[in-house]
Structure 1
Amino acid sequence: MATPVFEEFDPASDCDCPGCAHWRSVLPFSRAGRHPAARRAVIVAAAASAALGAGHVAPAFAAPQVPPGPGVSAGSEVATPQGPRARLHGRSGPPIEPASEVRAPQTTRAEIITRAKKWVDAKVPYSMEAYWSDGYRQDCSGYVSMAWGLPGNEWTGTLGQFGERVSKEELQPGDILLFHNPQNPERGSHVVIFGGWKDYTHTSYLAYEQRPPRARRKDTPYAYWNQSNRYVPYRYKGLKEDAAAGPDKPKPPAAATPYPGAAYFGPGANNKYVTQLGQMLIARGAGPFYTLGPGPRWSDADRRATGAFQLAQGWKGAEARGLPGPLTWELLASGEGKDIAAVEAPDPQVPSSHGVPGYPGRAMFRPGASNPYVTQLGEQLVKKGFDKYYTAEPGPAWDEEDRRNVEGFQRSQGWRGGAADGVPGPETWRRLFS
């Protein structure tokens, strides 16, 4: 009697059951957290092996269909199938010309990133057949076509015609990293939008991409999680200078300094980059926020000024929380983006809430609250290692996951009872951000 073979399998990466969502968040590259169906397959295989007796060969388990790239866990290998070139909204849209004849519409880096963020905020689901309300196909190449503002849906085989190749050192927000696989073009290719370096080492960057299960922005190793040596940087040919950055616009100081990383900013930071940030902000209209010249110690004036600049770009929520990311720094350093509109100087006699820098008040963390401080709190909890209950990236809506993670931090401080209720007070905030 032939030995039966059972296949152990993982579910599709876009499975939204609570179990899969939990394991994707907690152990994104681990194969320990499996869908119940996969575990049942293992149990059936084990039972069959025992029934066959010791004289038979143990059942073999099928390998994953797509082998991971060198040094990359299989958990990071996600298929990103894409459709071919198509008109907007599919068949109902206007016809498109050959890619070689399409003129690249003009746009700015800030506009590219703003459009990319819209899909991330809307959690646009991945699909190689469906079209979003703006007419673009909901796959990786359709996402880049939308962000670049192209007149139709391109694919990885034609996107390179709308850009020019650049080096790794020349990459700036709004550029792309393109992998077109001629051996399997529709299912073996991918493209992401470069959002800026995470720090001066240039080993990781912020990527905007459309991949299962939905559009996302994520810290990503250069050039990508897998097939890294096959991704090619491109810059959009239709880039234009931002209207706010004319020839008479004063250049900010030390414009060539690369983004040092998020760790250099926020409560407790004290370094030269905080000073440089303040100088660049003042050059863009943030002078009224500072009663004294910018200095190396992070202050509420830096947070408010940074937030004002981010709001001037049209960003909202977590994107305008007052902490500079790679794109904020890039726009300030390059002189691009929009200046801060005329503002009234904040009253220097009004201290931060409860005397703790940056603490917004307990009202920001009530049931139903939604604001950038909740995101800021969640990101700091993750940084400190108190993210046990998050099943997704922290967001602006206060929920039970936030409360339980705060409670875990409070208990780590030795607090009990009402002192560890999961709602951050000024002392919790001070210790968490110190």
Structure 2
Amino acid sequence: MTRSNTARRTVAALLTAGVSAVLMTAAPAHADSNDSCHPSGAMPRVGVFGNEFAPAPSDPLVRAQGWVDAGLTCSPMGSFGGYRTDAGGYAAMAWRLTESMEPSELLSTGSVTPLAGRDDLAPGDGLLNPAGFGHAVVFDHWADDAHTSYLGYEFTAAGVQHRTIPYPYFAGQGDFRPVRAAR
């Protein structure tokens, strides 16, 4: 191969990589809980199974990061590791719940319990908006000493993310409450 052809292929590869990087970073600054990947209507529950089939290890943050690393895309009709690939399935997986359900069902089924407030949040807890289909975020840790923002794991229409979120969630996106998974 000539130097000219090698140079053209190198430039083409770099341009392709650059365009891909731009497209991958073009996600919105935040995800609207109403901009979820839920079509209208009830979502199927993906199997009822025992905790013995939930992904190891026991740390919910390690399990949450596993889905970030897998680069999953939101599809409420799909599943990964026995859990729906949406916000409800993601939270259920991280918290090792026995079934994948809508975030709106988590409180009513006793799968999570409300916490008194932000100061009670610990790594692996969550923020839950039970309205409509709802949305859930797995709490990682506080991003600042004033507890005005935190790092959280969430599954949005843009995919699984680990990012900084203002407490309790982005303005205008619903009534998010701190919760702890029933263990």
User: TM-score, length-normalised on structure 2?
Assistant: 0.73
> What is the CA deviation profile of residues 295-347 of structure 1, one whole-angstrom value per residue up to 9, with x for unaligned ones?
xxxxxxxxxxxxxxxxxxxxxxxxxxxxxxxxxxxxxxxxxxxxxxxxxxxxx
Determine the C-alpha separation between the residues in 2 that align with 1:154 and 1:225: 23
- The residue identity in structure 2 corresponding to 1:127 is S
* Aligned mates of 1:130, 1:76 — CA distance in 2: 20
Tell me the equivalent position of 2:113: 164
Alignment-mate amino acid for residue 175 of structure 1 = D
Q: Distance in 2 between matches of 1:146 and 1:130?
A: 14
- 1:37-93, CA deviations, whole angstroms, 9 ceiling, x for partnerless residues? xxxxxxxxxxxxxxxxxxxxxxxxxxxxxxxxxxxxxx75361144535133xxxxx
Matches of 1:76 and 1:143 in 2, distance apart?
A: 15
Between the aligned partners of 2:71 and 2:65, the Cα distance in structure 1 is 10
Q: Looking at secondary structure, tell me which structure has more helix per residue.
A: 1
Matched residue of 1:200: which SS? coil
State the match for 1:284 in structure 2.
none
Amino acid at match of 1:202: H
1:77–1:226: 8 Å Cα contact kept in structure 2? no
Q: CA-to-partner distance for each residue in 1:253-308, whole Å, 9 max, x for gaps?
A: xxxxxxxxxxxxxxxxxxxxxxxxxxxxxxxxxxxxxxxxxxxxxxxxxxxxxxxx
Which residue identity lines up with residue 236 of structure 1 in the other structure? A
Partner of 2:36: 80
Which of 23, 26, 40 is 1:24 aligned to? 26
After superposition, where does 1:353-392 map in structure 2 within 5 Å? none
1:124 shift after superposition:
1.1
Alignment partner of 1:193 is 2:138? yes
- Report how far residue 199 of structure 1 moved: 1.9
1:170 partner letter: D
**What residue identity is the alignment partner of 2:66?**
K
- 1:235 — aligned with what? 180
**Does the C-alpha gap of structure 1 residues 87 and 76 become closer, same or farther in structure 2, counting only changes over 3 Å?**
closer
| Residue 159 of structure 1: how far off its partner (Å) | 1.2
Cα distance, 1:18 vs structure 2 = 4.7
Identity among equivalent positions (%) equals: 27
Distance 1:23 1:208 in 2: 17
Matched, 1:152 2:70: no
Gaps of 5+ in 1: 1-16, 30-74, 89-94, 97-101, 239-434
Match of 1:180 in 2: 130
Q: 1:85 to 1:171 in 2, by over 3 A?
A: farther
Q: 1:118 aligns with which of 57, 63, 66?
A: 66
TM-superposed CA distance for 1:112, in Å, is 0.8
Higher relative contact order (CA 8 A, sep 6+): 2
Partner of 1:153: helix, strand, or coil? Answer: coil
Unpaired runs of 5+ residues, structure 2, are: 1-18
- Aligned pair in 2 of structure 1 residues 76, 143: CA closer, same or farther (>3 Å)? closer
* CA RMSD after TM alignment: 3.2
Deviation of 1:203 after TM superposition, in Å, equals: 0.7
- How far is the alpha carbon of 1:176 from its aligned partner? 1.0
AA paired with 2:128?
Answer: L
Q: Specify which structure has the higher proportion of strand.
A: 2
Aligned AA for 1:210?
A: F
CA distance in 1, matches of 2:32, 2:87: 15
Shift of 1:162: 1.1
Contact 2:127–2:137 (CA<8 Å) still a contact in 1?
Answer: yes
Tell me whether 1:221 sits opposite 2:175 in the alignment.
Answer: no
Amino acid at match of 1:149: R
Instruction: Indicate the residue corresponding to 1:9 in structure 2.
Output: none
Find the aligned partners of 1:86 and 1:190 in 2 and give their Cα distance: 16
Distance 1:140 1:209 in 2: 7
Counterpart-to-counterpart distance in 2, 1:147 and 1:22:
25
The number of residues matched between the two structures is 157
Q: Distance in 1 between matches of 2:43 and 2:148?
A: 32
Larger radius of gyration: 1
Indicate the residue corresponding to 1:141 in structure 2. 88
Report the AA paired with residue 219 of structure 1: T
Correspondence 1:57-76 to 2 at 5 A? 76=31
Aligned-partner residue type, residue 144 of structure 2 = D
Is the partner of 1:129 in helix, strand or coil? strand
